[in-house]
Structure 1
Amino acid sequence: MRIALSQLTTGPDPESNLGLLREEARRAADGGARAVVFPEASMACFGTPLAPVAEPLDGPWAEEVRRIAKDTGLVVVAGMFTPAPDGKVANTLLATGPGVEASYDKIHLYDAFGYAESDSVAPGSEVVTIDVDGVRIGLATCYDVRFPELFRAHADAGAVVSLLLASWGAGPGKREQWELLTRARALDATLWLAAVGQADPAASATAAAGAAGASNAPTGIGHSAVIGPDGTVRQSLGAAPGMLLADLDPEEVAAVRRAVPVLANRRLAGRG
């Protein structure tokens, strides 16, 4: 199955960001992709007040993403914000397209490195997978990558691919952590990991105006990558915007799981 990872820089205006998604989806379709995956916060970059831009899954922003999917014939996965109780939002992934309609609310909130996502975002609680052409795919968002149990839950649900949509925070050692964690999660669950992040705004000609006002907001570092089920990096990008087209072979997952059956060999520690 061929998928496209679109590493872009979104700004604070949801309508303008839809134009980016539309352009990139056409590019992915021209490249023969079956699905195109956009980063976390594709609707509006972090550093933007989120409650005013949040919309329900049947709102106009999501409906336009569905139109993009219909016009291109692709499954589209993109990060948006939906209303949640107490004036907060959910950090939501919308997956839509031929035979697919699902959403995932980010479970693990980024309360780290001086940033408190939970101040404005409510956590999700459900593990979500989708099926594209008979291939089961798990959905995850950014800080989720630090929690291996989620990716093993994808595998337990039959997934052979996990999609990780991110807007990774910059800082000393953060790129190295991103690269280590994405490889580790692929190896933990012996599945393909397709990790797409926001490009580094400093490396983008369409830098996210307005995000600079919140200096610790996670606005992206780039370095999207496709990791094989054996933990090896198969394709990757640098800091600037770009697109990866990757062919993922589900049979390779089966072969790796036969050779290194870590899922089958798991044992739970007993309680005293």
Structure 2
Amino acid sequence: MRIAAAQTLVSSDIAANGSAIRNMIVAAAASGARVINFCEGALSGYSKFQIMHPDDWRSFDWHRQETELRAIAHLCGDLGIFAAVGGAHRLENGYPPHNSLYIFSEEGALLTRYDKRFLSNSELGGWYSPGTAPITFDTDGYRFGCAICIESQFQEVFQEYETLGVDAVLFSSYGIAEYFQIALRAHAGLNCIWISAATPVQKAAKGPAGIIGPDGKWVTQCPATPEPNLVSATLGRDDALYDVPLQKARPWRLKARQGDIYREKMVNDPRSEDRSGY
């Protein structure tokens, strides 16, 4: 299973964003990748950057975004690749949109959509509405989850995905600051999962797109230059490099969290009822 993380230019021109995304999907497919993820707002633009004020959603060209989403879906079907594309998702009754990742399948269909659940303080000021649930999808025997931006600061997001049996989390952000990178490496190592991190070229200097292994180390990263790029890495559960995190640590931590191994130990230990010591 080969996955790719993209670093694309995000502008206020939805059609240009769509073209940049499709070009990168073509490049990823040519490299043998089966899954590629893009940054948040990769298609629609992101709040305070391309969307300058919450009122801008009223004039947002939802028809153009829908057209581009359909074109991306068709390309994924033609090339047999999955793609996670950042974009706003319109809600009814005047609510701000979701900050979402659209997941397209190798069959050219919208497979599912992840709506960012933990919004930043500023996002809650009329920019976006929060989502409510995690999502996972499977391909080639591997399971993926999704997370967006500030969710890197919530360990429960990644632990939940570990309990859902994911092999990798597709993380999409409008910038991967150093403290985001530290957190992502910790989440990958603690949960023994891969994390594919996508960002726009505008933010690459502060943290380029890349892929982290289940040992918490970067496998690969794009150059920290303001140019479109992508990197890819191979996921392998039997990879000898990850024998400890995947074959030993992850199964052991699952047993430890369930707690039975400790209860059995206490039952069989005659000292378990001795509470006289400090």
What is the TM-score with the length of structure 1 in the denominator? Answer: 0.80
Correspondence for 1:6: 6
Greater Cα shift, 142-151 or 232-241: 232-241
SS at match of 2:76: helix
Counterpart AA for 1:2 = R
Q: Larger helix proportion, structure 1 or 2?
A: 2
- Please report how far the alpha carbon of residue 259 of structure 1 lies from its aligned counterpart in structure 2 after TM superposition: 2.7
SS at match of 2:134: coil
Q: Is the 8 A contact 2:7 2:230 kept in 1?
A: yes
Greater Cα shift, 123-132 or 254-263: 254-263
Alpha carbon RMSD of aligned pairs, Å? 2.4
User: Number of aligned pairs?
Assistant: 242
> Take 2:72 and 2:124, find their aligned partners in 1: how far apart are those partners?
25
Q: Which runs of 5+ in 2 are unaligned?
A: 260-278
* From 237, 243, 256, the counterpart of 1:265: 256
> Take 1:61 and 1:126, find their aligned partners in 2: how far apart are those partners?
26
SS at match of 1:32: coil
- Rg: which structure is higher? 2
Q: Which runs of 5+ in 1 are unaligned?
A: 170-174, 204-220
* From 181, 196, 210, the counterpart of 1:194: 196
> Take 2:218 and 2:198, find their aligned partners in 1: how far apart are those partners?
13
The equivalences for 1:81-160 within 5 A come to: 81-85=88-92, 86-98=94-106, 101-111=111-121, 115-160=122-167
Deviations 1:164-216 (A, max 9, x none): 011127xxxxx32022011011122211111111122687xxxxxxxxxxxxx
SS at match of 1:80: strand
Percent identity for Structure 1 against Structure 2: 24
- Please report how far the alpha carbon of residue 70 of structure 1 lies from its aligned counterpart in structure 2 after TM superposition: 1.6
- Please report how far the alpha carbon of residue 71 of structure 1 lies from its aligned counterpart in structure 2 after TM superposition: 2.4
- Please report how far the alpha carbon of residue 121 of structure 1 lies from its aligned counterpart in structure 2 after TM superposition: 0.1
What is the TM-score with the length of structure 2 in the denominator? Answer: 0.79
Correspondence for 1:17: 17
Q: Does 1:71 align with 2:78?
A: yes
Q: Is the 8 A contact 1:75 1:95 kept in 2?
A: yes
> Take 1:149 and 1:201, find their aligned partners in 2: how far apart are those partners?
26
Q: Does 1:180 align with 2:190?
A: no
Runs of 4+ in 1 over 6 A off after TM superposition: none
Greater Cα shift, 118-127 or 94-103: 94-103
SS at match of 1:266: helix
Q: Does 1:228 align with 2:213?
A: yes
